[in-house]
Chain A
Amino acid sequence: MRNVLAVARRELSAYFNSPVAYIVIVTFLAVAGWMYFSTLFLFGRADMRPFFQPSPFSPAMLLVILAPAITMRLIAEERKSGTIELLLTMPMQDWEIIFGKFLAALALVAVGLLLTFAYPLTVSSLGELDWGPVIAGYVGMLLFAASLLAIGVLCSTVTENQIVAFIVAFLVSGFLYYVYWLRFFVPPLLSPIFEFLSVSFHLDNLSRGVIDSRDVVYYLSLTFGALLLATQALGRRHA
């Protein structure tokens, strides 16, 4: 665990020593805030659901773009600059490296999400706010982000080109996001499969305010599955 934290700390300071962290956080706060408040005034109700609920144009969609941008450099840059050789010849397990990098990315997103807590606080001053669904929504959003970041880490592990890592991660995440709406256009037999596959479906469930273990298990499986594959990919030494 100590190695995981050492790696995570290094990556996190790399994020905050460059403009990346600030750009990500400011973009997220601004665009997500605008997306949310514009719909809020439309409904005129003290409710955070529009913030969490996935739609083709919602804060969750923003994460589909930001997560690959955050993770694209994590391993690819080490391969490009050759520092991967230092990393892999230090006494660390491959999973510790992958998990440490993932944690740093997750921490960055968590900071962004934490700052959006200003929104429910604002709303609760305007009217009665039910905090249960807000907590469930944040849990859902973090799980949702974790699975996208894990996919991003995997993509960064299999190439030394950051742009390729970004594009592949964005396409995979975008597919898992939009497939939710495609379910209306496929045979009814396939529809539940599309639904279950989709990262949006489970976030939609959680945004209703109920933390269902099936949704949690879905996100955790996706996250750990992708991280496991990334560990495998890192461990394969040009064999």
Chain B
Amino acid sequence: MLGKVVSMVESQVMVEARSLRKDYGSTLAVDDVSFQVSRGEVVGFLGPNGAGKSTTMKMLTGYLSPTAGSAYVGGLDVAADPIAAKTKIGYLPESAPLYDDMMVAEFLRYVADIRRVDGATRRERLETICGRCGLNDVLGKNVGQLSKGYRQRVGLAQAMVHDPDLLILDEPTSGLDPNQIVEIRALIRELGSEKTVILSTHILPEVQASCDRIIIISGGKLVADASPEMLSGGDGASVVRVSVKGDAPAESIFAGVAGVRDVTVLGGEPGGQAFRLRSVSGEDPREAIFRAAVDNGLVLLDLHREQVSLEETFRQLTTTEDGAHA
């Protein structure tokens, strides 16, 4: 009975990263990254260039083997069972590398061949996909002659040929013009209603537009994992910044205050300590924070409520001077 419940819960997990780590020689590109993605979720990896987003994706798809840790896709260990795991994934690598010497139709048939999309279903699927990705006008063209926007669409199409459960898209809109970006975003949203999608981007509006959940990666580390609303404080929760002076263990005191959901330690000024407190939805915890500080003999230097945008959160979490730990 319990076993059954567990396995049902398990089957809802589409992707799991367990302490993934990747060293390129002396560069530590990905450092102890763990997360889960449930079936049907659309998750955005957000982070500055060089953060380790692509490297993480390459480990999920089985292209790179992790230095330590493991990746699971649909319950399968990617390292132990690579072929089975790869059949579940559709992958668009960064900047859509494609065979320039092939015609679009020829290329998609080649992918279909290896992906075992056969017989009667093949034509139907290729037609559907070319329709959805808007490729019907370029089927007879060489891939090498296509514009950046069309290349990206061919890249998406090849990822969808076998109707995979999971799509991993590395910077699907980079290098596109605004109209193309809108088109590709719409396509991703459409795909997100039926599939699990992980996409990466270094552009904020991208994740706000497309994702249910955001994983912020910076310097190879996972620094935040939350919904866009939570990160922007828009779920009714408020964010309070507090600075205090005193010997009492301020962090644990604030964590215990009713109405506070979590506490982030910020740098603070000399002699003081600064914190960022996020409240439970709909609560304004400032009064309770004030009392807790006074009761514990802490001197309040500053206490104010912030309007945070995702942009600000992103900047705070990905710049080291703020010393964020999430």
Contacts and interface: CB of A to CB of B under 8 A. Distances in A.
Interface string A1-26: 01100110110011001100000000
Contacts of A17: 101
Most buried by A among B61, B93, B111: B93
B63 A88 contact: yes
A77 B113 CA distance: 22
B114 A91 contact: yes
A150 B115 CA distance: 27
A61 B115 CA distance: 41
Given A18-B101, A82-B95, A238-B24, A89 B83 contact: no
B63 A239 contact: no
Interface in A1-56: 2-3, 6-7, 9-10, 13-14, 17-18
Most buried by A among B65, B83, B97, B158: B97
Contact of B89 (A9, A88, A89): A89
Interface residues of B, number: 28
A214 interface: no
B110 A81 contact: no
B231 to A, nearest CB: 30
Interface string A190-217: 0000000000000000000000000000
A237 B64 contact: yes
A118 interface: no
Given A3-B114, A81-B100, A237-B65, A86 B83 contact: no
B189 interface: no
A230 to B, nearest CB: 18
B166 to A, nearest CB: 12
A93 interface: yes
A128 interface: no
B310 interface: no
A3 B98 CA distance: 18
Nearest to A238: B64
B111 to A, nearest CB: 7
Contacts of A13: 102, 106
A92 interface: yes
B99 interface: yes
A189 interface: no
A86 B159 CA distance: 9
A85 B93 contact: yes
B252 to A, nearest CB: 43
21 contacts: A7-B114, A10-B110, A17-B101, A18-B101, A81-B100, A82-B93, A82-B95, A82-B97, A85-B58, A86-B97, A88-B62, A89-B61, A89-B93, A90-B114, A90-B115, A91-B86, A91-B87, A91-B115, A92-B83, A93-B83, A237-B63
Given A83-B97, A86-B98, A88-B62, 14 more contacts: A7-B114, A10-B99, A10-B102, A10-B110, A83-B99, A89-B61, A89-B62, A89-B86, A89-B91, A89-B93, A91-B115, A92-B114, A237-B63, A237-B64
